[in-house]
Amino acid sequence: MAQVTLPDPPPASGEGPLGLAFDNRFTRELPGDPSDEPHPRQVYGACYSHVSPRRCAAPRLVAHAREVAELLGLDETATASDRFAEVFSGNRVLPGMQPFAMCYGGHQFGHWAGQLGDGRAINLGQAIAPDGRRWMLQLKGAGRTPYARRADGLAVLRSSLREFLCSEAMHHLGVPTTRALSLVTTGETVLRDMFYDGHPRDEPGAVVCRVAPSFTRFGNFQIFAARGDHDTLRRLADYTLTHDFPHLGSPSPESYLAMFTEVCQRTAEMIVHWMRVGFVHGVMNTDNMSILGQTIDYGPYGWLEGFDPGWTPNTTDGEGRRYSFGAQPEIAQWNLAQLGNALHPLVDDLPGLQAAVDGYAEHYSTAWPEMMMAKLGLEGFEPGRDEALLGGLLEVLQLAETDMTLFFRRLADVPTTNEAGDEARLAPLRGAWYDPAALDGPIRPKVIEWLNAHASRVREVGVDDATRRERMHAVNPKYVLRNYLAQEAIDLAEQGDLSRVGELLELLRRPYDEQPDRDRFAAKRPEWARHRAGCSMLSCSS
């Protein structure tokens, strides 16, 4: 590994104890791999393998999320210490930590892939926060594990920076998600073929510390069901039920089914939030689906710029578009069906399992239109009354290239009074189209027709424009982590300028607020970014 030079971090305030306490019940209560050999292999009858993080040359803290640090009881003295960078790069294992990698399988792009597992994710342990909650601390990019297959277990700065920022951006948007504590560079380079075209290059290495109550995935259950290992499957289900769903009672076929039903409901709620803010996960394999209904594994994700239900950020998915924006609700249901199949050996109730999966669809089909009406500043959805309004909206958004985030944010400024004329309604929205002149062409009558229908509905329910604007600003963000913004931060960071990372982190803490001094971050995608890798589509290379 070659070393790479990045700027010095802010002066540390001295090395002091981090004060983290651990209680690793995952490794204590579940069966582990009896071998500590780090080489890639098939692991049977075990939920995890003990591993050791790889030491790096020169760990340096790039950024940390102060809110996550506070959850863990870490103050600014701790996060500024040398020890913090050492621990969260993998260079130092604190007393009480028991690093391990989880064993799981999964369906990738609809095909069973067998054993997958944490190939470069290393769980340091379960930290006990001051309020008694438990948080799993997980390093991504800290070295190989038995599940790494042919990979090196490392990660590069570009993908690590994207994951760090997006984890926190999603949280502040109100989307269920895992969190990110820190981003640390390693002082080394990692060889990556970003486009899988035979032209690899050295990139700066980095490690992200991810934080969640649990990183258990659908695939954790699938691997044991696929192998017929029903004893380990039951032990994992018992553990998950007891610690992640304790309100559902003691382990039994009935409580397993209740747990699955809740997973279906939580997943529906998560997908509705994705659709609300225009987020596209990009790689919704079953091993990338959280049992808690949280967004997990920020790889080739993206944010809608022009509204296009068929858009996917994943180059691997460019032909089939299995994981496109508009396909996400259906794929989530398919993934839940696979989890239901995995739990069937424990729940001999196929009608009940099917009812839970059907319940996902029912929950989503109710929550989605209500969410869309909220984006329009209206409360509730009236079947038979509002279908035409929402259907017309989706048509208008696709008449010409329309920036989704800007459209909904600026729609709040469109007057809905009877006195407002056509141009008065169009004027606030013109900047949401990538070609504003299109509004003076053939699409104009259709756009005006829909705006008038929306205004009529607003007047019908008696909502004044000031109240409507306040409602809309609460659910329609002004700022999201647009692909080009993340790429600009990456470009600067790779040149040694880390300032944009902190600037974006601060911006995305208040995505619904007006931040006049940061209006440049609420702009449409620039033309230079339209087809550039990282700004349009990404590979899984990281």
Q: Which two tokens stand for residue 279?
A: 């987020």
Catalytic residue positions, numbered = 287
Q: Are 120 and 26 contained in the same domain?
A: yes
- In the block, tokens 């064993």 appear at 103
Using the predicted structure, report yes or no on whether residue 5 has a pLDDT greater than 60: no
User: Which of 375, 410, 436 is the last residue in one of the domains?
Assistant: 375
What are the CA-CA distances from residue 156 to residues 166, 187, 192 (Å)? Answer: 16, 11, 8
Could you read off the pLDDT of 490-502 as tens digits, one per residue? 999 999 999 999 9
In a domain, 8, yes or no: no
Q: Are 449 and 511 contained in the same domain?
A: no
Using the predicted structure, report yes or no on whether residue 15 has a pLDDT greater than 80: no
> Domain tally for the chain?
4
Q: Are 185 and 46 contained in the same domain?
A: yes
User: Which of 462, 497, 521 is the last residue in one of the domains?
Assistant: 462
pLDDT at 3: 44
Q: Are 87 and 109 contained in the same domain?
A: yes
Q: Are 511 and 402 contained in the same domain?
A: no
Q: Which two tokens stand for residue 118?
A: 């944490």
In a domain, 451, yes or no: yes
- Angle, alpha carbons 264-267-270 (nearest 5°): 155
Q: Are 448 and 487 contained in the same domain?
A: no
pLDDT band at 38 (very low <50, low <70, confident <90, very high): confident
Using the predicted structure, report yes or no on whether residue 17 has a pLDDT greater than 60: no
Three-state secondary structure call for residue 213: coil
List of residues 6+ apart from 390 with CB closer than 8 A: 369, 372, 373
Could you read off the pLDDT of 52-101 as tens digits, one per residue? 999 999 999 999 999 999 999 999 999 999 999 999 999 999 999 999 99
Could you read off the pLDDT of 258-281 as tens digits, one per residue? 999 999 999 999 999 999 999 999
In a domain, 11, yes or no: no
> What's the rounded mean pLDDT across residues 297-307?
94
In a domain, 478, yes or no: no
4 in Cβ contact with 496 (< 8 Å): no
Provide the sign of the torsion angle of the four alpha carbons 305, 164, 156, 494, taken in this order: positive
Could you read off the pLDDT of 335-371 as tens digits, one per residue? 999 999 999 999 999 999 999 999 999 999 999 999 9
Q: Are 281 and 416 contained in the same domain?
A: no
Using the predicted structure, report yes or no on whether residue 1 has a pLDDT greater than 70: no
pLDDT band at 247 (very low <50, low <70, confident <90, very high): very high
How many angstroms separate the CA atoms of 296 and 283, rounded?
Answer: 10
> What's the rounded mean pLDDT across residues 99-107?
98
Look at residues 347, 345, 312 and name the one whose alpha carbon lies nearest to residue 327: 312
User: What percent of the chain clears pLDDT 90, i.e. is strictly above it?
Assistant: 91
> 173 or 316: which carries more pLDDT confidence?
173
pLDDT at 10: 38
**Residue 206 forms beta bridges with which residues?**
185
Task: Note down the domain range covering 424.
Answer: 387-462
User: What percent of the chain clears pLDDT 70, i.e. is strictly above it?
Assistant: 96
List of residues 6+ apart from 409 with CB closer than 8 A: 472, 473, 476, 477, 478, 522
* Residue 427: other Cβ atoms inside 10 A: 16
In a domain, 179, yes or no: yes
Give the CA diameter of the chain: 76
pLDDT at 312: 95
How many angstroms separate the CA atoms of 254 and 214, rounded?
Answer: 23
> What's the rounded mean pLDDT across residues 470-492?
97
pLDDT band at 542 (very low <50, low <70, confident <90, very high): low
In a domain, 491, yes or no: yes
446 in Cβ contact with 395 (< 8 Å): yes
Q: Are 155 and 303 contained in the same domain?
A: no
Could you read off the pLDDT of 425-471 as tens digits, one per residue? 999 999 999 999 999 999 999 999 999 999 999 999 999 999 999 99
**Residue 303 forms beta bridges with which residues?**
279
Per 3-state DSSP, the chain is made up of helix, strand and coil in percentages (nearest 5) of 45, 15, 40
User: Which of 216, 239, 255 is the last residue in one of the domains?
Assistant: 216
Q: Which two tokens stand for residue 31?
A: 């069966």
CA-based end-to-end distance of the chain: 16
pTM of this structure: 0.95
**Residue 137 forms beta bridges with which residues?**
125, 211
Three-state secondary structure call for residue 135: strand
In a domain, 79, yes or no: yes
Q: Are 225 and 309 contained in the same domain?
A: yes
pLDDT band at 196 (very low <50, low <70, confident <90, very high): low
Q: Are 81 and 206 contained in the same domain?
A: yes
What are the CA-CA distances from residue 210 to residues 136, 181, 185, 352 (Å)? Answer: 8, 6, 15, 34
How many angstroms separate the CA atoms of 413 and 178, rounded?
Answer: 34
Q: Are 438 and 506 contained in the same domain?
A: no
Q: Are 59 and 179 contained in the same domain?
A: yes
Q: Alpha carbon 183 to chain centroid distance? A: 16
In a domain, 488, yes or no: yes
